[in-house]
Structure 1
Amino acid sequence: MKIVFFGTPNYVLPVLESLHKTFKSKAGESPIAAVVTQTPKPVGRKQQLEYSPVDTWAHKKNVPIYFDGNDLIRNKVQADLGLIASYGKIISKEVIEHFPKGIINVHFSLLPEFRGASPTEAAIITGQKEIGVTIFKIDELLDHGPIISQFTEVIQKDDTVETLRIKLFKRVAEVLMTLIPAYLQDKITLRDQDHSKATYTKIVKKEDAFIPPEFLNVALQGQAFKGKWNIPFIKDFEIEPTPRVIERYIRAMQPWPIAWTNIKILRDKEIKRLRILKSHLESSATKATKPVPRAYTLVPDLVQLEGKLPVTWKQFLEGYTDIKFIQNPDIQT
């Protein structure tokens, strides 16, 4: 068995490690014929190159490393199967057809729901009780190919995108150890997706983490803003910005780009960004003189004013008693 692994971040390493250990030959040869990962990028003041965790793993294991899938063809890399786990680039038809058994992909939704780049964020924001995982054979269209296997995992009330990715890839690593041999031996019947039920997500951008201050003003009082919130990275989706929804949004923006809003420090007459790193919900019965059944108040736990270190919400309010959440007309949202 020979596999080319397409992936980049650290949370896919359990999959790589399991493949390497489980399917290593008796002579100690790795089943990983090569990895394809993101190109190293310059970071920090010194602009030193930062290599992806998958790149670093492959270097230690003496596994060939490529930054473009087409290089597999040019270098005549031979493998039975390609496996994608958070790679981050589009793969050409020529590369797909290079593998006798094609390429399979790990996607965090029950396809055809939440096709695209941000299914985990979408699952949290829309209040799903469970998040799905689909392992499918890719074709030329976005998350469109036939399904090999699906399963679900419960979303806990404090789960973020980061914690879900870590948990899900650990489980994926276990599932693939039996799934890949069965797939290669044609023991699995693939099934087409119901394309009429497809929904779509887009890449989350830094500006998408902005929470309109008027939403926060009422959420901190245990109320919902009267209107709809258009979620920019979920196609054709809007939702009422209740305290519960905003709390989910804050979790969905972890570990990146981190939720933020604008505040005005009245004594300085400045508008600054305030990042909301963590929050929770409290029953409005403890906050309001006329409690509303099943109503909640948003309570920030950890915040960070631009140019400052993170502090608790209590510490922040003690240091800044004259703040106001305000829309900054100079910032495009």
Structure 2
Amino acid sequence: MGRGGSYMKIVFFGTPDYVLPVLDALHKAFKPRSLESPIAAVVTQPPKPIGRKQQLEYSPADNWAHKKKIPIFFDPNDIIKNKIQADIGILASYGRIITKDVIDYFPHGILNIHFSLLPELRGAAPIPATLVMGKKDAGVTIFRLDELLDHGQIVLQFTEDIPPEDTTGTLMVRLFVRSAEVLETLIPAYLQGKIKPHEQDHSKATYTREIKKEDAFIPPEFINATLQGLTFKGKWKIDFIRDFEVEPIPEVVERFVRAMQPWPGTWTEVKIMDNGQWLKRRLKILKSHLSQPTTHNPQLVIDEVQLEGKNPVSWKQFQEGYATTTFE
């Protein structure tokens, strides 16, 4: 039974285009015969001014709800103020803190989709961390939200294989599609009390944080070494993963490049010879792969780059344009 009606009602909290498969699945799977959507409201980030003209850009979740004439809110507390009737909240990449008052407003709480096997990799960057760490599969946890960071009771967990070409972007798309499929059967079972949430083992928690542009920097000496299949002596501290450092071997650098796609994009520094002068420039490494190992370790092979202020080009084109280039 739905709150204030005979069928389920859901409030969705989310923002980017990645979450649209979840919205679509909820809308279609739980829509009754009437024309009314099971989505009672969408809570999303407010529009932001973009470009020189500072035109407002609305979030993909906002645009989705607008087309379906579903109420849109930018402040979670407005759900309470407007007395929106719903059984449960579903949260996916929303981007703001939800207070206890809002969580407790829903009879069955709010379920959050998090892309790790909690309590591992709590925080804002579990997918990039999963890729950098070289895990063979990605975890997904659907848990009951509480007021602490990724701390609530676990409702369900599952995993998804990671193929060698996956980036953060491609993996995130696939995980949201899988999560949407899972929610179609999970939500009814959960509301009927057939699934009992259980506590996390908080003593095993590890953490990530939101990635900044500077986190995508690879020291040029690491690039220089890995292009030759060498291991740079020393450790590489990956700052967005708490207490994590690793040897900067070619395999790790290649995984890091994929982890930083589509944003912010791995970058390093190069010296290029231009008109007889050495110039130091930022260089984005957009795509790379590993050579097939023979008797030696695999080497990093750069496929696509972008010099600051220039368009993306293949590594071959870049070398043709800047024949004398050094990573230092």
CA distance in 2, matches of 1:243, 1:42: 40
CA distance in 1, matches of 2:37, 2:46: 23
How do 1:176-215 and structure 2 match up within 5 A? Answer: 176-215=183-222
Q: CA deviation at 1:137?
A: 0.2
TM-score normalised per structure 2: 0.96
Please tell me the residue identity of whatever aligns with 1:274. L
Shift, 1:209, TM fit = 0.6
- 1:43 equivalent to 2:45? Answer no
Give the number of aligned pairs: 319
- Residue from 149, 156, 167 that aligns with 2:174: 167
Q: Any runs of at least 4 consecutive aligned residues in structure 1 with deviations exceeding 2 A, and if so which?
A: 266-269
Match of 1:153 among 126, 146, 160: 160
183-192 vs 55-64, greater mean Cα deviation? 183-192
Aligned twin of 1:92: 99
Q: Secondary structure at the match of 1:260?
A: strand
Letter in 1 for 2:306: Q
- For the 8 Å contact 1:206–1:257, the answer to whether it is kept is yes
Partner-residue secondary structure (3-state), 2:282: strand
Residues 173-218 of structure 1: CA deviation (Å, up to 9, x unaligned): 1110010011111110111111111000000001111111010010
Tell me by how many angstroms 1:284 deviates.
4.4
1:1-333 alignment to 2 at 5 Å? 1-266=8-273, 267-285=276-294, 291-292=295-296, 295-326=297-328
Q: What residue ranges of structure 2 are gaps of 5+ in the alignment?
A: 1-7
Give the CA deviation at 1:46.
Answer: 1.7
Aligned-partner Cα distance in 2 for 1:53–1:268: 46
Aligned partners of 1:122 and 1:136: how far apart in 2? 20
- The alpha carbon displacement at 1:49 in A equals 1.0
Query: Does structure 2 retain, via aligned residues, the 8 Å contact 1:222–1:296?
Result: yes
CA distance in 2, matches of 1:95, 1:122: 30
Letter in 2 for 1:118: A
Unpaired runs of 5+ in structure 1?
286-290, 327-333
Tell me the TM-score normalized by structure 1.
0.94
Aligned sequence identity (%): 65
In 1, the alpha carbon distance for the partners of 2:154 and 2:277 equals 57
- 1:268 Cα shift? 3.0
Aligned-partner Cα distance in 1 for 2:65–2:198: 33
Distance in 1 (alpha carbons) for counterparts of 2:186 and 2:277:
61
Deviations 1:56-97 (A, max 9, x none): 000000001111101111111111111101111111111111
